[in-house]
Structure 1
């Protein structure tokens, strides 16, 4: 467990020498004990595609309208990833990518990349809305990348370099098309396009195309009725194909409330929208998106793993990793005893490389380097003549804009969950009349705190687009310290400022951070400067941008050696060790609770495995039987059936995965029946009887509150 805190800085060589401080601990999926916990990243990484080349893995992901674009990460174990490169610096096409002439590219840009390796070269294929298929080629995935704009209008494609030298692409929504590409990627072979899976066969979109053991596989995302991943298989590229569902209903216990009605694809950017409506996430699968749009990758030892997207509320879409079980030639996500469902916590892939827990980026930046850290991206194309790094500061010239969404040269990075706090120092001495500069959340609705210059006076301003709310008051100091704290699991943010860098004052209240389909991204921290007088203004000087993540260190989330209670979120009852040998439910005020029947000691058995011993002397929780008869009983002697893999659901919540049945401990909240270990997983609302709230119990029987950082 000690090595859990040895986090890699994970930065490129050109930035390492420029950084004089150690960055805060950042989210890593690696638990440091041989297991990992999904998601791989707690910030947005949508439309993932992964390949293996030798002992190395490469991951490509969508970047939409932000630049630089199409990110490439590298890993040795599929769990710990490091930034490697971007495929493109900017969009050299159209006013919409420059926020000019009232045009914008929010929710458009470049997306759904396919990464491939063939004959010593790396290839990335991706679509730019309205501009067609782009191909990037490099001998080294660290770059440089050669860019080819094919101009051909296909999207959501996956490419296969076949053994006979032909290059195939599959693409399209619902109706799956196959087409042969020319070797120089100048276009397609005439007459080669075919519909290989007709509409109505539930294949969906976001295809991943493979040839495995002589057969052709297409893995796609389908959204009916609640979302699932489909796999099609054939003996020839053109089919005929048969299909099965390989993953379904897996939400990792996450609900997603999206903006509905007035903010979506194709909607206009306007200040007038203040009545933002969020979908109701209540109910079993309402407001939830299951694992979708992913594929599979093999290890050198022959094991297979799945990867896919998962909507994590205002985080946006991030990436999850799933063990793959092959049955009858089909690659099911999940375990042999629980096909189609993915553990939130599981054992790391079996690779030879020894890796330490590592975050893919360094998020904090003191701007002392010659280049921006790779975590940063610009909102649309930057005007490179109007910004610089000089004297250890980020210098942004103010350009005309009516509001934050139209502000050019806005520097952004993804907000990271579950909770994070971003703080930056702003020198306002060079602002001019009409300038506004500060720290914001780039989203719809947007949110910011900063300094507004009116005439010769400065004012501290907080603005929330959500309710058209402004708070403004005079500010005389040269420097202001700005802070935003986000709780992405609950879709909220709070703003604060300081005059001395130590004492921070909260401004306003908690504000909404919903996920919406106009920007098609999760919430982003933004450093901005613009002028509302329709002219170029002065300068905003930013320094010491820091990101703190109070819940990233999860070492205490596995309470080994402690005595705990387990409260079922489904009905509020406590797991109770019945003296007759069954695991039942008991109310907190019952005698069973007070006589330690609801207290369990957690024994560590390594690699995240635990054994739970009832403190009333009835024995160890043990799974007996199989299938629907897999009862959870109290046995005097510990056995193989006593092993559970602790599933960390964060914030003092957990699930217990039986390593005997490969399913979860649970009970029907409505009936209060005895517990069994045949539950496939939890609902997004976590109230189906499989998720517990655990609390540590003192030696005198007093419940110790679970320590959750004070995020506000």
Structure 2
């Protein structure tokens, strides 16, 4: 046989990929150590990308993240390699579909709203199920993940439920698994109507532990797998239970990973086109940024998916770096900066509660985001200020946000600037009065200001920088070149209830709905990864 033919056969055979099954995966695959360009580091999403679920449709992966009181709600991201993620939209465009208290005229229910959910693709349609802890279970559907998504359908109008996940069996019967934290954390399995928008029974109890939630259902190699987490003596720990029938009994169960930093738990199990398995999980129980997301390789042993690196005890252990599932080049920076050059708001942005639609525009002055000042529901409270536009601050060693703002249309009593806020607020803004403009840095129990500057000023620049510990500095500029720090070091705080801090743009007028600013651009530089 000629050398050319031999080489061809070697290359051809090496391109064949055999899908990984639970019966085949008895241990970690032996591979050469990855190079720096081939590897990734956890967390892959070092910000508040909490209450995670991930699926693959064809060669594309989709990720959803709960957004609580933010609007639009339920972030949707896309990836080709499970490492680089890009926001593409949201599943809920109006939170008042859930309840009027999330509207700008009330701004009630911080940390409630859109809790954990699941995304699935069935019969050429995407489904997102989620719960509001006070108002029950909802579903929305779309033919494209970017939307448009259908108006919310309430399925169960009852408080006390969380972590729903649908499942369609081979015969077409639809099911849904969900936790009733109001009923001692019983996990129930419901049958659903054919259109998957109504429950057909009161549910069968699959499991009851201590704080059992984070539900997902899968069918792999003839077994039904119920993923969940519960609180043990070790902490919050992920488990799998399995049965030969969807109704159970799920008598077999296996711990998937030992407790690690931030207690990895909620997430989604996904198989690549090449047959490899991974779990994308959130973790972080006290981080100022909320819950980050990590990608963990999955090794199947005796029919059980173990996360990370399996130990001698048959339980996985956290890994903080691994080989990329697919070699797609360098790891990208998350979509964060914005030139405001389009007629629609970029999908990395979310309003703090449902905004007033008449008080912002991307078309009145093309190339700028126009924010109109509103009278706040409560003076000096950013969490009661209408139309605060937010992003997730990332928890990396170096983060610098710079904003260029046109202030020439501000009126007396109006303020506009940049904030980092959670349980406490740190912000830098410019306020207009008869004397002119003053830069002010407000932090817990302190406020620092400079003397008034020329009232004819048109542009100002704001800057916020912080490190992985959440230690933030604020500064300002009147020429975009030289920045002066203002105020003290501000410690960024979360909101509690695992909800991360927010980075916000805002304008407010304590006296009346009057005045506006035009934001030219928002630049976010980070050292991620």
Instruction: With the length of structure 2 as denominator, give the TM-score of the two structures.
Output: 0.85
1:486 corresponds to 2:459: no
**In 1: Cα distance, 2:305 partner to 2:211 partner:** 16
Task: State whether residues 470 and 492 of structure 2, in contact with CA within 8 Å, keep that contact through their aligned partners in structure 1.
Answer: yes
Aligned to 2:390, which of 412, 418, 427? Answer: 412
Determine which structure has greater relative contact order: mean sequence separation of CA pairs < 8 Å that are 6+ residues apart, divided by chain length: 2
Are 1:523 and 2:528 matched, yes or no?
A: no
Aligned equivalent of 1:234: 243
Note if 1:398 corresponds to 2:376. Answer: no
Question: Quick check: 2:155–2:199 contact (8 Å CA) kept in 1?
Answer: no
Number of equivalent positions: 475
> Residue 210 of structure 1 corresponds to which residue in structure 2?
218
CA distance in 2, matches of 1:91, 1:381: 6
Determine whether 1:453 maps to 2:427. no
Corresponding residue number in structure 2 for 1:97: 102
* Equivalent residue, structure 1, for 2:167: 160
1:425–1:482 CA contact under 8 A, matched in 2 = yes
Q: Which residue of 1 aligns with 2:525?
A: 548
Q: Do 2:96 and 2:103's aligned partners in 1 also have CA atoms closer than 8 Å?
A: no
Q: 1-side partners of 2:453 and 2:134: how far apart?
A: 45
Matched, 1:346 2:350: no
Provide the secondary structure at the position in 1 that maps to 2:101.
helix
Partner of 2:340: 367
User: Are the structure 2 counterparts of residues 53 and 544 from structure 1 closer, same or farther at C-alpha, using a change threshold of 3 Å?
Assistant: closer
Shift of 1:223: 3.4
Residue 108 to residue 538, structure 1, CA distance change in 2 (3 Å)? same
Report if aligned partners of 2:472, 2:490 keep a CA contact under 8 Å in 1.
Answer: yes
Q: Partners of 2:298 and 2:62 in 1: how far apart?
A: 18
The answer to whether the 8 A contact 1:32-1:357 is kept is: no
Q: Which runs of 5+ in 1 are unaligned?
A: 1-29, 252-288, 555-712
- Check 1:461–1:203 CA distance in 2 against 1; reply closer, same or farther (3 A cut): closer
Structure 1 residue 35: Cα displacement: 1.1
Q: Which secondary structure does the structure 2 equivalent of 1:223 belong to?
A: strand
8 Å CA contact 2:74, 2:91 repeated in 1: yes
The whole-number CA distance in structure 2 between the counterparts of 1:295 and 1:356 is 24
- Which residue, out of 305, 321, 325, partners 2:295? 321
Q: Partner of 1:184 in structure 2?
A: 195
Runs of 4+ in 1 over 4 A off after TM superposition: none
1:54 to 52, 58, 64: 58
Structure 1 position 470, deviation (Å): 4.5
Q: TM-score, normalised by structure 1?
A: 0.64
CA contact (8 A) 1:136 1:147 kept: yes
Question: Partner of 2:15 in structure 1?
Answer: none
SS at match of 1:332: strand
Counterpart CA distance in 2 for 1:87 and 1:373 is 14
Whether the 8 Å contact between 2:421 and 2:492 is mirrored in structure 1 is no
In the alignment, the residues of structure 2 paired with residue 470 and residue 532 of structure 1 have an alpha-carbon distance, to the nearest angstrom, of 19
Distance 1:524 1:118 in 2: 34
Q: State whether structure 2 residue 516 is matched by structure 1 residue 508.
A: no
Aligned counterparts, 1:64-213, within 5 A:
64-93=68-97, 94-101=99-106, 103-152=107-156, 153=158, 154-172=161-179, 173=181, 174-190=185-201, 192-198=202-208, 201-202=209-210, 204-213=212-221
- Counterpart CA distance in 1 for 2:462 and 2:517 is 13
Which runs of no fewer than 5 residues in structure 2 stay unpaired?
1-33
- Per the alignment, do residues 495 and 360 of structure 1 end up closer, same or farther by CA in structure 2, a change over 3 Å counting? closer
Structure 1 residue 358: Cα displacement = 4.5
> Who is 1:622 aligned against?
none
Q: 2: CA distance between counterparts of 1:506 and 1:291?
A: 38
User: Distance between the aligned counterparts of 2:35 and 2:459, measured in 1?
Assistant: 40
Tell me the SS of whatever aligns to 2:96. Answer: coil
Tell me: CA distance 1:548–1:42, structure 2 relative to 1, closer, same or farther (3 Å).
same
- Identify which of 231, 238, 241 aligns with 1:223: 231
How far the C-alpha of 1:485 sits from its partner, in A, is 0.4
- Equivalent-residue separation in structure 1 for 2:458 and 2:146 (angstroms): 41
Q: Distance in 1 between matches of 2:187 and 2:239?
A: 12
Structure 1 residues 468 and 105 mapped into 2: Cα distance closer, same or farther (>3 Å)?
farther
What is residue 18 of structure 2 aligned with on the other side? none
Residue 227 (structure 1) shift: 2.3
CA distance, structure 1, for counterparts of residue 433 and residue 426 of structure 2: 20
Other-structure match for 1:698: none
Structure 1 residue 468: Cα displacement:
4.6
What is the CA distance between 1:300 and its match in structure 2? 2.5
